[in-house]
Amino acid sequence: RAKSAGGNRFELADPEADARAITRHGLTTALPAALDRGEFFIEYQPLVHLGDGSVRGAEALVRWLHPQHGVLGPDRFIPLAEHTGLIVPLGRWVLEQSVRQAREWQERHAAAGPLRINVNLSPCQLTHPGLVQDTVDILEREGLDADALCLEVTESALIGADDDLLKPLRRLAEMGVDIALDDFGTGYSNLANLRRLPVSILKLDRSFTQGMQQFPADPVDLKIVEGIVSLAHSLDLAITVEGVETGAQAEQLRILGCDTAQGWYYARPGPPERLHELALVDATG
Ligand code: C2E
Ligand code: MG
Ligand code: MG
Ligand code: MG
């Protein structure tokens, strides 16, 4: 692999890097039309209560059905959409679809309790002046309670955040929208800083869950998660864990006092009908 010390000259001489750059360029220019043509779709991954195993809602995860490349995950195109600004209309579309979907789940499965929807926000959406009004409009138009919506923001997006950045999140939180700190534990956040943020949920990053794969888990990992859980609860924050792949992980995280879990052990991200089935089984059985 070519060293980057030489600048562009070396990168152009690397055919793989070249191909990647061409693909990136192609995807970037195809993005706006893709939104118009309806090539994006959303998969939903259930959020499960660790105490009783019930489905409480789902996280919306966007995908792109590209006519040549097939299904592309968000890691392939969200950074490009952020770079070009398309993330604002794309993010608004994801929010609207997800809120509509949550409303439909609630109507069809009243017995399962008010199912909630989690939607990821990119840092560019946070700084976009329309965020609060767009969210209010969508909730109103689709008829969903603000309480049923959770917006996920990564820890790194809020590091060093000043008041201007936090203001829209505060307004949303005041309306009843939950704000979750996504991928928690991967950034360098000052834990004391948490008190300043209008956040009500910590989503513990998958890297912590991975340390619980064996039973018994790595004692150091256990101590770290135990510490984070007790800190979170003392600040009145709920803990959601990402990337739960085994029953052993689920059990240890439940014993540690985590509140909600998400991962392949329960369900992979899937079409909205899948949540109907899971929530229905749950409510009746
Ligand atoms: P995230 O918000 O941290 O989402 C969790 C990621 O972990 C998802 O990857 C999910 O499919 C994956 N995952 C869930 N359970 C497991 C498990 O048990 N094991 C493993 N190994 N992985 C698991 P995905 O769908 O590829 O999304 C990647 C990231 O893309 C998301 O990370 C989020 O930051 C971003 N993203 C997704 N949808 C949107 C969106 O609509 N807007 C924005 N701005 N970002 C999005
Ligand atoms: Mg997320
Ligand atoms: Mg996450
Ligand atoms: Mg993550």
Question: Which ligand sits nearest to residue 203's alpha carbon?
Answer: 3
Whole-number pLDDT of residue 278:
82
Whole-number pLDDT of residue 192:
72
131: pLDDT confidence band, cut at 50, 70 and 90?
very high
Question: Phi and psi for 264 in degrees, rounded to 5?
Answer: -65, -25
Residues 6+ apart with CB under 8 A from 171: 132
Q: Output the CA 4–ligand 2 centroid distance in Å.
A: 32
13: pLDDT confidence band, cut at 50, 70 and 90?
low
Q: How far apart are CA 217 and CA 236, in angstroms?
A: 26
Kindly report the number of other CB atoms within 10 A of residue 49's CB atom: 16
Q: Output the CA 45–ligand 2 centroid distance in Å.
A: 10
Q: How far apart are CA 77 and CA 81, in angstroms?
A: 6
User: What is the DSSP annotation of 7-60?
Assistant: THHHHHT-HHHHHHHHHHHHHHHHHHHHHHHT-EEEEEEEEEETTT--EEEEEE
- Establish whether residue 57 lines the binding site of ligand 1, counting it when its CB lies within 6 angstroms of any ligand atom: no
Whole-number pLDDT of residue 5:
47
> Whose CA is closest to 115, among 148, 143, 138?
148
> Whose CA is closest to 267, among 57, 39, 52?
57
Atom of ligand 1 nearest to the CA of 87: 44
Q: By alpha-carbon position, which residue is closest to atom 4 of ligand 1?
A: 61
Atom of ligand 1 nearest to the CA of 264: 18
Which DSSP category does 144 fall into?
Answer: -
pLDDT higher at 278 or 256 = 256
Atom of ligand 1 nearest to the CA of 154: 34
Whole-number pLDDT of residue 285:
45
Whole-number pLDDT of residue 31:
95
Q: In this predicted model, what pLDDT tens digit does every residue of 28-41 receive, in sequence order?
A: 999 999 999 999 99
Kindly report the number of other CB atoms within 10 A of residue 270's CB atom: 16
pLDDT higher at 169 or 194 = 169
- Establish whether residue 118 lines the binding site of ligand 1, counting it when its CB lies within 6 angstroms of any ligand atom: no
Tally the C-alpha atoms within 13 A of residue 166's C-alpha that lie toward its C-beta: 15
Share of the chain above pLDDT 70, in %: 92
2: pLDDT confidence band, cut at 50, 70 and 90?
very low
Q: Output the CA 270–ligand 3 centroid distance in Å.
A: 17
For the residues 143-155, what does the mean pLDDT come to?
A: 96
Spell out a b/e string for 113-131, using b for 16 or more CB atoms within 10 Å of the CB, else e: bebbbbbbbbbbbbebeeb
For the residues 45-59, what does the mean pLDDT come to?
A: 95
Q: What is the mean pLDDT of the chain?
A: 89
> Whose CA is closest to 202, among 284, 245, 260?
260
Whole-number pLDDT of residue 43:
98
Q: At what angle do helices 87-108 and 15-37 cross, to 10 degrees?
A: 60
- Which one-letter amino acid corresponds to residue 178? D
Mutating to test ligand 1, I would choose from 47, 61, 125, 155 the residue with most ligand atoms within 8 A of its C-beta, which is: 61
Whole-number pLDDT of residue 281:
64
Q: At what angle do helices 87-108 and 272-284 cross, to 10 degrees?
A: 30
Q: How far apart are CA 272 and CA 274, in angstroms?
A: 5
For the residues 155-172, what does the mean pLDDT come to?
A: 89
4: pLDDT confidence band, cut at 50, 70 and 90?
very low
